[in-house]
């Protein structure tokens, strides 16, 4: 049995649409004699007449009606495929679910999500803010594809991939005696009311590391669970704090001054994902945007810090 090729189907459809050999050739961007030869060869091979020739026009023959119906269905399927591919390219009817630790969520996640939205304007984005103890269930139960965390998730079913490293900085209320310094030490802050995060919390442990490096055991006058709480308390003049630079990665933060530490201390950021899970293309793109925003985080606050010290 003779098997028709996709090229022949394409030629037949072009003649059907345009009604002439020249029109079909123009439609396909090929030579007219080539179209004529292929149509003739196809009819001879199939043993049926596909077109009636009337005054230079090619009219689909009655007996080949079923063939043309199938050709229409084939191209309708191709058009549907093209539409589906176009929708996928924009993210239409697709969901991207991921999460971030509170310290990453406020500024970094917002800017990364903005870039994702620009690339995939129709993509539904489900961004969750998770506490440490919520992260494991979120990943293992596959509620989302990945979580941006500031400490690795300790579980054999989770892969932790470091993607960035940022500074721990001091945050002071505006008008503070150290606000105009190029850098401060933890000893400089020891006489102030200290605001921190519970040291048993992985995030709190990272923030307290500069004190431990200096041989100090910090005594906090108050504690907050999340970075945003520390920021708010300092803004209201209730004390000073150490915080990761990602939590204050915004150009203007009225009421707050960010100052680097003399003895630099850093915090690592990880992508946590269920071991063996294959990431979607949307997740791959999202992670690239997080890496970019994390790498550029210091640009959003150091320029202001330099302006303050130069006044």
How large is the greatest C-alpha to C-alpha distance in the chain, in angstroms?
101
Question: Residue 35's pLDDT band (boundaries 50, 70, 90)?
Answer: confident
**Average pLDDT for 242-248:** 93
* Rounded distance between C-alpha atoms, residue 290 and residue 292, angstroms: 5
Q: Report the predicted TM-score, pTM, of the whole model to 2 decimal places.
A: 0.68
| pLDDT at residue 84 greater than cutoff 70 | no
- The radius of gyration of the chain from alpha carbons, rounded to an integer in Å, stands at 32
| pLDDT tens per residue, range 161-183 | 999 999 999 999 999 999 888 99
Quick: pLDDT tens for 36-50: 888 888 888 878 788
pLDDT at 244: 93
Cβ pair 32, 21 in contact under 8 A: yes
Q: What is the DSSP letter of 183?
A: -
Q: Are the beta carbons of 227 and 131 closer than 8 angstroms?
A: no
User: Which domains, and CATH codes, for the chain?
Assistant: 6-90 (1.10.10.10), 95-310 (3.40.190.290)
Q: At what angle do helices 65-90 and 6-18 cross, to 10 degrees?
A: 100
């Amino acid at each position: 049995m003779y098997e028709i090729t996709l090229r022949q189907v394409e030629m037949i459809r072009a003649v059907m649409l345009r009604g002439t050999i020249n029109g079909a050739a123009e439609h396909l961007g090929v030579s007219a004699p080539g179209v004529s030869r292929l149509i003739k060869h196809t009819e001879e091979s199939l043993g049926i007449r596909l077109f009636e020739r009337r005054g230079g026009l090619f009219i689909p023959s009655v007996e080949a009606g079923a063939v043309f119906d199938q050709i229409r269905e084939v191209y309708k399927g191709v058009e549907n495929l093209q539409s589906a591919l176009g929708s996928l390219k924009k993210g239409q009817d697709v969901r991207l679910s991921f999460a971030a630790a509170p310290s990453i969520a406020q500024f970094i996640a917002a800017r990364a999500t903005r870039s994702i939205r620009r690339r995939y304007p129709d993509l539904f984005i489900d961004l969750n803010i998770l506490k440490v103890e919520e992260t494991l269930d979120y990943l293992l139960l596959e509620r989302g594809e990945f979580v941006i965390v500031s400490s690795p998730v300790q579980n054999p079913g989770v892969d932790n991939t470091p993607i960035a490293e940022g500074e721990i900085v001091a945050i002071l209320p505006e008008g503070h005696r150290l606000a105009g310094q190029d850098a401060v030490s933890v000893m400089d802050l020891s006489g102030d009311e200290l605001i921190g995060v519970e040291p048993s919390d992985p995030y709190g442990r990272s923030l307290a590391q500069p004190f431990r490096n200096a041989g100090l055991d910090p005594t906090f006058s108050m504690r907050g669970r999340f970075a945003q709480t520390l920021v708010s308390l300092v803004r209201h003049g209730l004390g000073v704090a150490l915080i990761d630079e990602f939590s204050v990665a915004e150009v203007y933060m009225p009421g707050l001054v960010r100052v680097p530490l003399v003895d630099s201390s850093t915090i690592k950021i990880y992508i946590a994902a269920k071991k063996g899970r294959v990431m979607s293309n949307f997740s791959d793109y999202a992670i690239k945007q997080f890496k970019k925003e994390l790498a550029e985080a210091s640009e959003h606050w150091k320029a202001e810090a330099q302006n303050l010290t130069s006044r």
